[in-house]
């Protein structure tokens, strides 16, 4: 595949119009099923409280909550609902639950799309190259939550250090952080006043403790790929099953999403098939397969010691993996 490509060669104008059409019905079905699963897991968690089964229900509940970030991500792109305001409202609610304010996440994520794999400008790549230790700490969620909370508090204090936040955006980011902290403080005060552990039991602890599962998707999308400006070389899709694609809001079709971010999540499979028909298979690995490979690579040497313009984490068979057969 050529390093440079034209999106116009991948889809006709008619295909593009069809693929970018929004649907309140499709968005409500996905959102409703995810929220219903969380409520069911929460009910089960309450029913088995005080028994060993609480470990299982807590795990399921935490995983379902963590993967709500997939909803927040799509809501930031305004592709979940045809009604634009609905995308914003649900995005703010979920951002609060994720301790990841919607406006901040949107600014960071749009910089990620515009400058994917650019060390200085990609909103999700402004970090030091991984060592084995720093990668495992991030994968575990320890440094993830430290950065989320510390960053939220810092921005609430009016201190903006993120290079991707423009001066014109600083006021809303600071205000948003302050409103989030006020909301969390109110929940803490009410919990103490009513002597309730509900917020910890059904939200904070399950979400924090199961973050490593969500990190499997977070880490696979770009790590170990080229830092060149080429979506087909700097973005990776995930080989997984239908249940996990539902949980991830179809983000395992990540190369397709980066190629045409305006396409709603529920059309990414169709988009991916069209891209592979025109451009060939995309980079794709399984979650566990990827972790085995990247940890092995980082045991050998740090990320900074691998070439920046080449793919250095790939399936053991080499090259791109075969495309997923139609189900």
Tokens matching residue 7: 């999106």
Residues in the chain: 327
Q: Give ∠ CA 279-289-231 in degrees, rounded to 5.
A: 30
Say how far apart CA 182 and CA 187 lie, in whole Å.
9
Q: How many CB atoms lie within 10 A of CB 224?
A: 22
One digit per residue, the tens of pLDDT, for the chain of length 327 reads 343 456 768 899 999 999 999 999 999 999 999 999 999 999 999 999 999 999 999 999 999 999 999 999 999 999 999 999 999 999 999 999 999 999 999 999 999 999 999 999 999 998 999 999 999 999 999 999 999 999 999 999 999 999 999 999 999 999 999 999 999 999 999 999 999 999 999 999 999 999 999 999 999 999 999 999 999 999 999 999 999 999 999 999 999 999 999 999 999 999 999 999 988 889 999 999 999 999 999 999 999 999 999 999 999 875 554 343 333
Question: What are the helix and strand counts (H, E) for the chain?
Answer: 17, 2
pLDDT in tens, 267-296: 999 999 999 998 888 999 999 999 999 999
N-to-C CA span, the chain? 26
Residue 73's pLDDT is 97
- pTM of the predicted model, to two decimals? 0.93
Residue 6's pLDDT is 60
> What's the distance, CA 99 to chain centroid?
14
Residue 2's pLDDT is 40
Q: Give ∠ CA 267-272-277 in degrees, rounded to 5.
A: 130
């Amino acid at each position: 595949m050529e390093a440079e490509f034209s999106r116009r060669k991948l889809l006709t104008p008619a295909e593009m119009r069809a693929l970018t059409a929004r649907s309140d019905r499709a968005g409500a079905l996905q959102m409703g099923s995810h929220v219903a699963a969380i409520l069911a897991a929460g009910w089960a968690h309450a029913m088995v409280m005080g028994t060993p089964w609480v470990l299982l229900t807590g795990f399921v509940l935490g995983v379902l909550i963590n993967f709500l970030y997939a909803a927040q991500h799509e809501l930031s792109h305004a592709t979940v609902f045809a009604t634009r305001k609905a995308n914003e409202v649900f995005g703010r609610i979920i951002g609060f639950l994720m301790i990841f304010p919607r406006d901040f996440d949107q600014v960071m994520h749009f910089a990620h799309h515009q400058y994917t794999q650019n060390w200085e400008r990609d909103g999700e790549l402004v970090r030091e190259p991984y060592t084995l230790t720093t990668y495992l700490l991030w994968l575990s969620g320890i440094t993830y939550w430290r950065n989320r909370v510390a960053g939220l508090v810092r921005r609430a204090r009016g201190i903006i250090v993120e290079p991707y936040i423009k001066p014109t955006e600083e006021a809303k980011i600071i205000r948003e952080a302050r409103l989030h902290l006020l909301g969390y403080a109110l929940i803490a005060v009410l919990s103490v006043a009513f002597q309730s552990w509900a917020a910890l039991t059904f939200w904070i602890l399950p979400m924090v403790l199961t973050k490593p599962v969500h990190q499997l998707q977070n880490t696979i999308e770009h790590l170990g790929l080229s830092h060149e400006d080429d979506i087909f070389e700097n973005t990776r899709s995930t080989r997984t099953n239908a249940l996990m694609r539902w949980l991830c809001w179809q983000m395992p079709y990540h190369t397709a999403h980066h190629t045409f971010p305006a396409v709603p999540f529920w059309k990414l499979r169709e988009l991916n098939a069209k891209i592979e028909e025109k451009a060939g298979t995309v980079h794709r690995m399984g979650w566990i397969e990827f972790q085995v490979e990247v940890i092995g690579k980082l045991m050998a040497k740090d990320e900074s010691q691998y070439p920046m313009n080449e793919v250095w984490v790939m399936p053991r068979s080499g090259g791109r993996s075969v495309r997923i057969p139609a189900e």
